[in-house]
Amino acid sequence: MTDAPKDIDALIEVMARLPGLGPRSARRAVLHMIKKRTLLLTPLADLMHKVAATARECLNCGNIGTRDICEICSAEKRANGELCVVEDVADLWAMERGGVFKGRYHVLGGTLSALDAVGPEELRIPKLIDRIAAEGITEVILALNATIDGQTTAHYIADQIGQTVTVTSLAQGVPIGGELDYLDDGTITAALRARKSF
């Protein structure tokens, strides 16, 4: 494929399978790494081996950490009765960067999808229902993406647990720093409907 030595070719081929990279950008990345061998290639290989050996999914919430029960689930002070439901670990990290939410999380691992045959069992929804009782949850915050699948999943979960706990969702509106001219009509409509006194 590249006329490069076998191992380099294999490395490019595996790199190209990462999301966001294709064959061309994988070639560029690999050449860059070879040029910066001590700064990039060796540290990356070492870190990947470490992460492969230590990373595990939290058995309780689905977060990625180094223990069977992650730091957030282990922290007593985060058991404040609030549970934030997210699609993916990346969303959990995004919420944590915000730094405002002090409760615990539940990572679904995707959204319901009739097309891809993803049902509630595939999504840790039974586990979510168990946790509500087991951890004395009083409010479930649905922080799912504002896509059709995300919102379908949110409605399904609200139907399942709405009798037992308060269910809320993230506010919709104009992003901080956002310009109206660049926003879609749906967001502007939602922001107008949810307007508040200044």
Q: Which residues contact 144 (CB under 8 A, 6 or more apart)?
A: 85, 86, 87, 108, 111, 150, 151, 153, 154, 169
- Which CB, 83 or 92, lies closer to a second copy? 92
- The CB-of-153 to a second copy minimum distance in angstroms stands at 19
Footprint of a second copy on 71-90 (CB under 8 A): 88-90
| 3 state DSSP class of 100 | coil
- Token digits of residue 26: 């994988």
The contact mask relative to a second copy for 35-74 (x = CB under 8 A, - = no) is --x--xxxxxxxxxxxxx-xx--------xxx--------
33 binds a second copy (CB under 8 A): yes
Residue 90: what are its φ and ψ, rounded to 5°?
Answer: -60, -35
- Which CB, 19 or 177, lies closer to a second copy? 19
- Token digits of residue 169: 């969702």
3-state helix, strand, coil in the chain (%, to 5): 50, 10, 40
Which residues are 140's β-sheet partners?
83, 167
- Which CB, 14 or 194, lies closer to a second copy? 14
Residues that bind a second copy (CB under 8 A): 1-5, 7-8, 10-11, 14-15, 17-21, 25, 27-34, 37, 40-52, 54-55, 64-66, 88-90, 92-93, 96-97
